[in-house]
Amino acid sequence: MNSLQICILDPRIGQEWPLPHYASADAAGMDLRACLDAPLHLAPGQVELVSAGFAMHIGDPQVTALLLPRSGLGHRGLVLGNLVGLIDADYQGPLSISLWNRGTAEIVIEPGERVAQMVLVPIIRPDITVVDSFTTSQRGVAGFGSTGRR
């Protein structure tokens, strides 16, 4: 995939604020901005759906987009209301970001502030094979905490 199609819905995207972009040469996620007309005051526990200012179409069934919180904001308590957003390749609509203040203090989001990041990742769609048992592995059925802390 060499191109991601977007339709600008908020004229400030690409003018006042940059198009979705990678903040550094090696960044995995492109920054998404809150397209707001006024600052958004998120009280502790509050969730709001915010426009990213564009619609998108991936178009390649081998690719999906994941929406993730920005780590610095997440540390302050701002995460995504659905924790991780998943955008299918055939979706062609507007991109919205569910912002959730999971912290204990109000968080103010300014118009145009970078609030999330989008990572494009490959998709693998395996055939399902039903078996009666698995070939034994070293870990086997050992679950939570079974690999230790170190």
Report yes or no: 76 and 107 within 8 Å, Cβ to Cβ.
Answer: yes
DSSP letter (8 states) at residue 18: P
Q: What is the pLDDT of residue 71?
A: 86
CATH number 2.60.40.1930 given to 5-122: no
pTM for the structure as a whole: 0.86
Q: What is the pLDDT of residue 75?
A: 85
Q: What is the pLDDT of residue 138?
A: 82
Residues of 90-109 as b/e, b for ≥16 C-beta within 10 angstroms? ebeeebebbbbbbbeeebeb
Instruction: Look at the block and give the residue holding tokens 């509050």.
Output: 46
User: For each of the chain's 150 residues, which pLDDT tens digit applies?
Assistant: 778 999 999 999 999 999 999 999 999 999 999 999 999 999 999 999 999 999 999 999 999 999 999 988 888 899 999 999 999 999 999 999 999 999 999 999 999 999 999 999 999 999 999 999 999 888 877 777 777 777
Assigned token pair, 86: 């998943």
Domain range summary for the chain, segments of one domain joined by +:
5-122
Q: What is the pLDDT of residue 127?
A: 96
